[in-house]
Amino acid sequence: MATAPNKAARILVVDDDPDLRSLLTLALADEGYEVRAAPDGRVALDLLEAWPPRVILLDLMMPIMDGWAFRARQLATRGSDHIPVIVFSAAPDMRVAALRPAAVLSKPFNLDLLLATVADLAR
């Protein structure tokens, strides 16, 4: 697995699946990243303001505020609109391009590929 290029790089994981959030949090922390996780877009927006990350991993299908609504708010918020987003979803479609993601990964995803993508974007 790749070593984090910047040990202080912050990564925000946004997914409603608690097992996946835990897996990603542990895997990214093992790579040297500082990681926070949110179960939905609303919590993620609060974290985004208080704890700006270098990269966001974003699920699309979530309750309360889905990834589509989160990304729209993030892109409309000055100061966070530049943060690259990796979208991951069990059912990505052509509309994902409208979100202007830095990368799109289908679930289930290859963890090594995800870590390599995060490392590239966190530089």
What is residue 92's predicted lDDT score, i.e. its pLDDT? 63
Counted domains in the chain:
1
CATH code of the domain containing 67? 3.40.50.2300
Each residue of 11-29: b (16+ CB within 10 Å) or e?
Answer: bbbbbbeeebbeebbebbe
Residue 3 falls inside a structural domain: no
CB 99 within 8 A of CB 87: yes
Residue 117 lies in domain: 10-122
Whose CA is closest to 9, among 78, 56, 44?
56
Residue 5 falls inside a structural domain: no
Residue 37 falls inside a structural domain: yes
Nearest 5°: phi and psi at 76? -85, -5
Residue 68 falls inside a structural domain: yes
What is residue 23's predicted lDDT score, i.e. its pLDDT? 96
What is residue 7's predicted lDDT score, i.e. its pLDDT? 58
Residue 1 falls inside a structural domain: no
For 53-75, what is each residue's pLDDT tens digit?
999 999 998 999 999 999 999 99
Q: Which residues of the chain have a pLDDT value below 50?
A: 1-4
Q: Using CA atoms, how far apart are residues 73 and 81, in angstroms rounded to an integer?
A: 9
Q: What is the Cβ-side half-sphere exposure of residue 31, based on CA atoms within 13 angstroms?
A: 27
Residue 55 falls inside a structural domain: yes
Residue 19 falls inside a structural domain: yes
Residue 4 falls inside a structural domain: no
